[in-house]
Structures are given as C-alpha cells and as structure tokens.
C-alpha cells in the first residue's frame, strides 16, 4: 500500500454505456459467459426520490468481460429472461460490498448469486476500523475512488456520464479486493468464519423481505406520542394517507410530508383553519436543500408535490380528531421488558440493575469473556457474537442450566461463533 492513495477517477477500461435493450442484454450474457472467475456486483436505487426500493441500475464486472451497466427497469419492460444471466455466470461467486443492501433487489429481479464474497463483512472480520468501500480500497490497494453521486436520483434518464462513471467505479476494484482479502482471512484463520457469514448473508438477502408489523410506527420520534393516543391517531392517519399518495404518484413519502411534520401535527392537533395555518410545514411544499446538484433532482418532483394540496392533510387531521377513544391506536407493549425469555431482553442496563441485579452481574461476566475473545482474535466483539444474543441468554432464569451452544444457535448465531464462545460463556454464567 502506498503512503498517499492515488486517485482512480474512472475505470481503466473507460466509462461504459447503459445496456437497456434485449440485444444489448444478450451481448452482455455472451460476454460474461465467455469470461471466468468471480463477478463483482452492485446496484443503485432511487431512495429518497421514488416510492419503491427497486433497482434502477445494476453493475457487473468479470475478468475478460469488462464492466456492464444494466437498466433493469427498461429490460423488464421488454420482458427479458434474467435466468439467461444466471446461466451465463454458471454459479460463480458474486463480490458485493455490503451485500445485505443489494441482495433483496437482485432477488426481486430473479438474479441468484452462486455464492457470495462480501468485502464489508470481510473488512469487519479482519478488524478494520473503517470498512466503507473507499476505506477498504485505500487500505488494500492504495487507491481512492472518485465518489460524488451516491445520493443521486438513479431513476433519471438518460444517465449522465459522470453518474455512469461513479457506478462503474463501484465494481472496478472488487475483484482485486477479493483476492487480497481472502489471503488475509486465511492468514488470520478466519476463512471458514467468513464463508459462514457470507452464506448466512446470502440466504437472508435472497429470502422474503421482512416487513415491519406496524409500518406507521416507523415515523421518526413516534415515541413522543406514546402517552397520547389521540396524537397517535393523527400520526397514523397522516402516515397512511401520505403512504397512499406516495404509492399513487411514485414519489418518496418524505417529499410529500416529512416525519417531523407528522409529529408536529399530532402534538398540536390543529382543530380549525387558523391553528392549521400556524403549522407551516403542513401548508408548504417540502423542499430539500443539500447545497449541491441534488437540489435540482428534488425540484424535478415539484409538479407531483403541488398536486397534494394542504387541504388533504387538514381533512385527514380532522377525521382523526373526530375518532372516539375506542378507535384510537395504541403503542404496542414493549417486548424488551418481558421476563423469562419472552421477546428480547432489555437494552437498558438501568432496567437490569433495578429489576434483576443478579442477571446484570451475569451479563457483565459474559461480556468480559466476549471482550477477551475479541482481543485474542483481533475481531470486534459485536462480530464475535451479536450482543442481543448474550443479553437474551443472561436475562433468562437459570441460564447455567441451559445448553448455551443450543441457545445461541436457536438465536441465530453461526457455528463458528457458537464454537468460539459457548464453552467460555457457559463457565462464567454458572
């Protein structure tokens, strides 16, 4: 690694165009089928601009095939068979940085990696303090990437050249990174750990998407209304109407009404036109100000924003305020305070100290053991074992009577984690 990282301003093979036709897709499949080795992959979405989370651009690189930038939305419009691309890769491993973000989109398209190498997971296992893609490429290759468009509206067409350049750079160096990181993983005795983590991430990412059981409760700072059921009714009604309109117009919900506006309306509960007008955010179009080119992207959605008049929000609030107590929503009882293994153990150590100081002592002993194992293996403690698993174990009655290995496995720990910590944790919680 060089002392001063050198800038890679564009891919060594040049900036590719976007494949958006069936003929172009067939050509990509032929190129990648004739090439060999692992496949670098990435995807770009339009989060913050569009309603959905679908991929608007997917990027691949394979030695001998170069980089392909593919427009999945356009190709789906032509009815292409994504199985042709799976077949072209022949079960090759995909190299992805932070695969948990991209695998669900690939699964939606019908793309299936034969195996996975996640450079972010590898970086964490190797104990790197910075594990973003730019930091990892600097650490291993002495190269810094020209990265300027991470928050762009990737649904925009045609994609400007510098956006395509940004997208191509995301896969340009992944193949070199995989080779070097595999060597380090083997040197540290962590190759097997990594393979288990990769397989787990792949299975999770390709499985069904997890839906929030009560989606309107995802409003930021909803907890300020936990003792205000009428306010919760307002927040729920505004969220539901915002979600309906956002889906209808294919626009990010926060571009129609911000979470902070929902909370303000729920707290103040405007009952007449004057009180409603006093909440400025309900009467003005949402404007995003980043100080950069993003502002122009957001302005493209202004015509949609103007279609939703303030009277919509006022009507929703009035209907919510007219509900009777029997129709008010309530916050779900926090599972964190459940005893005897029902739900997750509390995160707050004050709860442990106040209700079960003996369990807190047990947890502290277990944590010291995990910390020592982390230091001995030069691996972050949260990678050694998920902290919630240890909290759940120590929160139960008589954990010393339990089969710790079996408990951790049921919680979701991988085999390498169980083998590494179970015996030591068992000894200290007796």
Which fold would CATH assign to domain 349-427? Answer: DNA polymerase; domain 1 (1.10.150)
Peptide bond into 158 cis (omega under 30): yes
Q: In which band, very low, low, confident or very high, does the pLDDT at 3 lie, cut at 50, 70 and 90?
A: low
Q: Please tell me the distance from the alpha carbon of residue 134 to that of residue 145, in angstroms, as a whole number.
A: 6
- On whether the CB atoms of residues 61 and 39 are closer than 8 A, the answer is yes
| Residue 104, pLDDT score | 97
CATH 3.30.420.10 in the chain is located at 6-206
Tokens of 317: 């609030």
Q: In which band, very low, low, confident or very high, does the pLDDT at 294 lie, cut at 50, 70 and 90?
A: confident
Q: Please tell me the distance from the alpha carbon of residue 172 to that of residue 363, in angstroms, as a whole number.
A: 45
| Residue 26, pLDDT score | 98
| Residue 331, pLDDT score | 83
C-alpha triplet 231, 233, 237: angle, nearest 5°: 120
Q: Per DSSP, what are the bridge partners of residue 96?
A: 118
Does the pLDDT at position 177 exceed 60?
A: yes
| Residue 221, pLDDT score | 96
Does the pLDDT at position 377 exceed 70?
A: yes
CB atoms within 10 A of CB 152: 23
Q: Please tell me the distance from the alpha carbon of residue 182 to that of residue 167, in angstroms, as a whole number.
A: 24
Q: Taking Cα atoms as reference points, which of 338, 337, 341 lies closest to residue 397?
A: 341
Which fold would CATH assign to domain 215-322? Answer: DNA polymerase; domain 1 (1.10.150)
Please name the residues in contact with 194: beta carbons below 8 A apart, sequence gap of 6 or more: 117, 121, 122, 125, 185
Does the pLDDT at position 148 exceed 70?
A: no
Q: What is the pLDDT of residues 302-359, one digit of tens each?
A: 999 999 999 999 999 999 999 999 999 988 765 544 443 446 899 999 999 999 999 9
| Residue 334, pLDDT score | 55
| Residue 144, pLDDT score | 87
Distance set, CA 54 to CA 71, 75, 118, 202 (Å): 11, 13, 21, 18
CATH 1.10.150.80 in the chain is located at 215-322, 349-427
| Residue 336, pLDDT score | 43
Least confident of 59-63, 147-151, 278-282: 147-151
- On whether the CB atoms of residues 195 and 278 are closer than 8 A, the answer is no
Q: Is 366 helix (H, G, I), strand (E, B) or coil?
A: helix
Tokens of 224: 């300020």
| Residue 167, pLDDT score | 95
Query: What is the arithmetic mean of pLDDT over 91-117?
Result: 97
What is the biggest distance separating any 2 CA atoms in the chain, rounded to whole angstroms?
A: 69
Query: What is the arithmetic mean of pLDDT over 132-158?
Result: 88
* Mean pLDDT, the chain, integer: 93
Q: What is the pLDDT of residues 4-61, one digit of tens each?
A: 778 888 999 999 999 999 999 999 999 999 999 999 999 999 989 999 999 999 999 9
Distance set, CA 130 to CA 123, 380, 428 (Å): 8, 12, 32
Least confident of 4-18, 283-297, 355-369: 283-297
Radius of gyration of the chain (CA): 25
Q: In which band, very low, low, confident or very high, does the pLDDT at 147 lie, cut at 50, 70 and 90?
A: low
Q: Taking Cα atoms as reference points, which of 135, 188, 130, 142 lies closest to residue 8?
A: 142
Does the pLDDT at position 2 exceed 60?
A: no
Q: Please tell me the distance from the alpha carbon of residue 183 to that of residue 340, in angstroms, as a whole number.
A: 44
| Residue 333, pLDDT score | 66
| Residue 339, pLDDT score | 41
* CATH code of the domain made up of 6-206: 3.30.420.10
Torsion of CA 388, 393, 394, 396, to 10 degrees: 120
Q: Please tell me the distance from the alpha carbon of residue 346 to that of residue 137, in angstroms, as a whole number.
A: 38
| Residue 212, pLDDT score | 86
Kindly provide the residue ranges of all beta strands, DSSP E only, lying in 63-121, ordered along the sequence: 66-70, 93-96, 115-118
| Residue 118, pLDDT score | 98
Distance set, CA 288 to CA 48, 149, 257, 262, 284 (Å): 10, 16, 12, 17, 12
Q: What is the pLDDT of residues 227-269, one digit of tens each?
A: 999 999 999 999 999 999 999 999 999 999 999 999 999 999 9
| Residue 317, pLDDT score | 98
């Amino acid at each position: 690694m060089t002392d001063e990282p050198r800038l890679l301003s564009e891919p060594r093979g040049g900036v590719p165009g976007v494949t958006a036709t069936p003929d172009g897709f067939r050509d990509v499949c032929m190129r990648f089928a004739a090439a060999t080795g692992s496949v670098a992959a990435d995807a770009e979405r339009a989060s913050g601009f569009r309603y959905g989370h679908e991929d608007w651009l997917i990027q691949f690189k394979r030695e001998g095939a170069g980089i392909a930038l593919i427009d999945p939305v356009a190709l789906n419009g032509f009815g292409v068979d994504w199985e042709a691309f799976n077949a072209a890769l022949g079960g090759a491993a995909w190299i992805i940085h932070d695969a948990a973000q991209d695998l669900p989109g690939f699964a939606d398209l019908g793309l299936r990696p034969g195996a996975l190498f996640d450079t972010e997971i590898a970086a964490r296992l190797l104990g790197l303090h910075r594990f973003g893609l730019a930091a990892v490429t600097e650490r291993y290759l002495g190269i810094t990437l020209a990265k300027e468009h991470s928050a762009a509206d990737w649904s925009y067409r045609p994609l400007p050249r510098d956006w395509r350049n940004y997208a191509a750079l995301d896969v340009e160096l992944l193949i070199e990174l995989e080779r070097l990181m595999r060597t380090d993983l083997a040197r540290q005795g962590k190759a097997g750990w990594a393979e288990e983590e990769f397989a787990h991430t792949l299975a999770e990412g390709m499985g069904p998407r997890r839906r929030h059981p009560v989606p309107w409760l995802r409003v930021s700072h909803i907890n300020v209304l936990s003792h205000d059921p009428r306010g919760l009714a307002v927040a729920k009604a505004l969220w539901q109407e915002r979600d309906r309109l956002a889906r209808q117009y294919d626009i990010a919900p926060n571009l129609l009404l911000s979470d902070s506006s929902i909370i303000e309306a729920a707290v103040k509960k405007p009952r007449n036109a004057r009180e409603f007008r006093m909440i400025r955010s309900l009467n003005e179009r949402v404007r995003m100000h980043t100080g950069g080119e993003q502002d122009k992207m957001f302005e493209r959605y202004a015509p949609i924003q103007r279609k939703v008049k303030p009277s919509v929000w006022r009507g929703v609030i009035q209907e919510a305020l007219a509900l009777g107590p029997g129709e008010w929503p309530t916050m779900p009882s926090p599972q964190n305070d459940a005893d005897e293994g029902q739900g997750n153990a509390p995160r707050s150590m004050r709860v442990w100290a106040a209700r079960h100081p003996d369990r807190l002592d047990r947890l502290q002993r277990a944590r010291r053991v995990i910390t020592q194992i982390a230091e001995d293996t030069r691996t972050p403690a949260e990678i050694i074992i998920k902290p919630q698993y240890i909290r759940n174990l120590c929160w139960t009655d008589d954990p010393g009577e339990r089969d710790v290995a079996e408990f951790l496995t049921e919680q979701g720990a991988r085999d390498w984690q169980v083998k590494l910590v179970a015996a030591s944790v068992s000894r200290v919680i007796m």
